[in-house]
Amino acid sequence: MIRLTIPEFDSAEFDAVKEVLNSGWLIQGNNVSKFEGTVAEYVGTRHAVAVNSGTSALHLSLLALGITSGDEVITTDFTFPATANVIELVGAKPVLVDIDLDTYNIDVTQVEAKITERTKAIMPVHLFGQVAGMKPIMEFAQRYKLKIIEDAAPALGATYSLDGKVKQAGSFGDLGCFSFHPRKVITTGEGGMITTDDEELALKLRKLRNQGMESRGNKVIFNLPGLNNRMTEIQAAIGIAQMNKLKQFISRRQQLAILYDELLHDIEWIKLPKALDGRNHTYQAYVIMLGNGVDRNSVVSRLNELRIETTLGSYSIHQTEYYKTKYAFSSDEFPNARLAFEQSLALPIYPTMNENDVRCVVRELITVI
């Protein structure tokens, strides 16, 4: 079976986990602090706060900014539902924007028209490992006094050139949110991280992830309601080992993406992913678009029978049952997201995948269609 993704572990991760188990210290210890410091240094922010998932990272970010009932948050229509769900969960309204089909990211030309007096934040998603158009988004945020929460869940290591300076995903907004789910470039099984330059926000996030708890000398104070969103020492130890391999993981994904491009570029019924100039695409996922005459779901089923695992690229939020029922969004507003939801196809890509596997995937894909 050629899997959609396979996390890569070696003795470094096994030894790290064994060391934690032998220590008897399983939560909020030295590994969590070290992992936070490693990610903050890599991303280029003053602070990083480890949590138990990418969804928790987004949720706590909204809470830390005080976004609540009656507020609006602008985000993309084409993303995993967690992006919209956390906005709903704090009582705010997700305001959806269609996507650019070249990158699958939010269409920045449509963002400003969605801003109202209720808008409090913009939440761009750096989908599949390519940073969204942050320059105009940052200009809108400054002009209208909005906050930016980067949903960088799939984009650790992705970069974007802003005014001649190369910056990492997660370093543009007030807050950047990462996921370490097994499909991401590095994994801790589950887990997430929030990056920020704002010391006050970092302190608030640390309270929110740990039941609202703050230590003052020998005294423990609960001065706001929080959650149990802590990362374990085991997850952090794995994360530290994975960070040591991040550069090679990204390089290998990019090599495989180049090979896919070479093998598929002449197929007229396939639209390839596009890496824009000034952006370093990490290819957390390699997502193509099938022509309108091709039944994507049948292709997924047939390839699975051939022991090749594929899936849809992502979801169109306005077409999911909950959001369609509550907000009665019109599909006419989101033609690109609708098309991507129906016709996008994520192909297998992971660091230990070899060139023969890629050739096999392409050969069987073409044969099936």
- Do residues 175 and 155 lie in contact, with contact meaning Cβ atoms separated by under 8 Å? no
Q: What is the pLDDT of residue 218?
A: 84
Q: What is the pLDDT of residues 214-272, one digit of tens each?
A: 888 788 999 899 999 999 999 999 999 999 999 999 999 999 999 999 999 999 999 99
% of residues, the chain, pLDDT over 70: 100
- Do residues 183 and 6 lie in contact, with contact meaning Cβ atoms separated by under 8 Å? no
Say which residue the tokens 């987004």 belong to: 58
Q: What is the pLDDT of residue 348?
A: 98
Q: What is the pLDDT of residue 82?
A: 98
Give me Rg for the CA atoms of the chain: 21
Classify residue 3 as left (phi > 0), alpha (psi -120 to 50) or beta.
beta
- Do residues 219 and 237 lie in contact, with contact meaning Cβ atoms separated by under 8 Å? no
Give pTM, 2 decimals: 0.97
Q: What is the pLDDT of residue 330?
A: 87
Tokens read off for 266: 């002449």
Q: What is the pLDDT of residue 103?
A: 96
Q: What is the pLDDT of residues 157-171, one digit of tens each?
A: 999 999 889 999 999
The stretches in the chain having pLDDT less than 70 are: none
CA 130 to chain centre: 10
Q: Is 321 helix (H, G, I), strand (E, B) or coil?
A: helix
Domains and CATH numbers, the chain: 11-98+105-243 (3.40.640.10), 246-368 (3.90.1150.10)
Q: What is the pLDDT of residue 217?
A: 79
